Amino acid sequence: MIKKQPISIIGMPIDLGQGRRGVDMGPSAIRYAALQQTICDLGFEVEDLGDIPIPSPESLEISDQNLKYLHEIARVCEELANRVSGVIQRKRFPLVLGGDHSMAIGTVAGAAKHYQNMGLIWYDAHGDLNTGDTSPSGNIHGMSMAASLGIGHPLLTHLGGFAPKVRPENVVLVGARELDLGEQQLIRDLGIRVFTMHEVDRLGMARVMEETIQVVSNGTDGVHLSLDLDGLDPSDCPGVGTPVPGGITYRESHLAMEMLADSGILTSAEFVEVNPILDQSNLTAKVAVALISSMLGKKIL
């Protein structure tokens, strides 16, 4: 469990990394679902550092269809990396709210600056292991794990002035059920540990998380959780930009977060891809807050 370390909330209302509008309102939706009060009720000291300023897509032009909004995403992710790094320097736990998953390029960069060998849990329906050469869409939210591994455009891979941020043997992808051909090949080439929905169904979430925790904590000195709400089934989280049926259940996700809390390994976290426009009664943001509370050690009894 995170030992009542003070928490700093950072909003990253970015929607430049993907094609469907509305995810820029994700941080506000999560805050509206009583995030700060929920964390305070668990006994944590918490501060909200507000949002990173993000330009709107309407004010920008796409110069490269294979890497849409590359320069703008790199710039705002650099700002996020600095903000996350500053939080860790102050011995606080960074909790970042999104926003599309391109933001992880910044969050991971800011966190990795403080660890020799950081572990990474990627809780997601997608691999986010594309590059400008392999991406079918050119949307950078599908490239963020690749960039963190040092693969892709230098503006993304060398954010913060160093690469890679994490090593393949310290990364686990949980909940994958939609992988592009280029991503499948990269997973095989790098030997990344992936628990697809097949493994989640066959092994059960308890076994999946036991193995995940073992991998990401083996020889590492910090662990970042990057949780995309589309990792959960759309019946539980309808308000995401790229929903994929057949996902992790609400209860399985709570178990995963509870096991992470018990392990005490997490040093930073982000919850991304909440899109209130596509949601029902802010349900997805409420799920995000509930999962954050389990991650921070809330128990049923």
Q: Could you give the CA distance from residue 216 to residue 289 in angstroms, rounded to a whole number?
A: 24
Q: Residue 109: phi, psi to the nearest 5? A: -65, -45
- The reply to whether 153 sits in an annotated binding site is no
Instruction: Please tell me which residue in 51, 72, 199, 230 is annotated as part of the active site.
Output: 230
Residue 11: partners with Cβ closer than 8 Å, 6 or more residues away: 27, 28, 31, 48, 49, 50, 51, 52, 96, 97, 99
Q: Could you give the CA distance from residue 20 to residue 86 in angstroms, rounded to a whole number?
A: 31
Q: Could you give the CA distance from residue 46 to residue 69 in angstroms, rounded to a whole number?
A: 33
Instruction: Please tell me which residue in 101, 153, 224, 254 is annotated as part of the active site.
Output: 101
- The reply to whether 101 sits in an annotated binding site is yes
Instruction: Please tell me which residue in 78, 233, 273, 279 is annotated as part of the active site.
Output: 273
Instruction: Please tell me which residue in 228, 233, 258, 279 is annotated as part of the active site.
Output: 228
Instruction: Please tell me which residue in 78, 141, 153, 252 is annotated as part of the active site.
Output: 141
- The reply to whether 198 sits in an annotated binding site is no
- The reply to whether 189 sits in an annotated binding site is no
Q: E strands of the chain, at which residues?
A: 7-12, 46-51, 93-98, 118-123, 171-176, 193-196, 222-228, 266-272
Is residue 158 flagged as an active site residue?
Answer: no
- The reply to whether 128 sits in an annotated binding site is yes
Is residue 128 flagged as an active site residue?
Answer: yes
Q: Could you give the CA distance from residue 223 to residue 167 in angstroms, rounded to a whole number?
A: 12
Take residue 260 and report the two structure tokens written for it. Answer: 């992470």
Q: Residue 228: phi, psi to the nearest 5? A: -95, 125
Give the relative orientation of helices 104-112 and 70-89 as an angle to the nearest 10 degrees.
40
Instruction: Please name which of 164, 158, 73, 172 lies closest in space to residue 119, comparing C-alpha atoms.
Output: 172
Rg (CA), the chain: 17
Instruction: Please tell me which residue in 15, 128, 233, 279 is annotated as part of the active site.
Output: 128
End-to-end CA distance of the chain: 15
Strand partners, 193: 172
Residue identified by tokens 């949307």 is 139
Is residue 273 flagged as an active site residue?
Answer: yes
Instruction: Please tell me which residue in 126, 153, 224, 254 is annotated as part of the active site.
Output: 126
3-state secondary structure of 253: helix
- The reply to whether 51 sits in an annotated binding site is no
Is residue 228 flagged as an active site residue?
Answer: yes
Annotated binding site for Mn(2+): 101, 124, 126, 128, 228, 230
Residues involved in catalysis: 101, 124, 126, 128, 141, 228, 230, 273
Annotated binding site: 101, 124, 126, 128, 228, 230
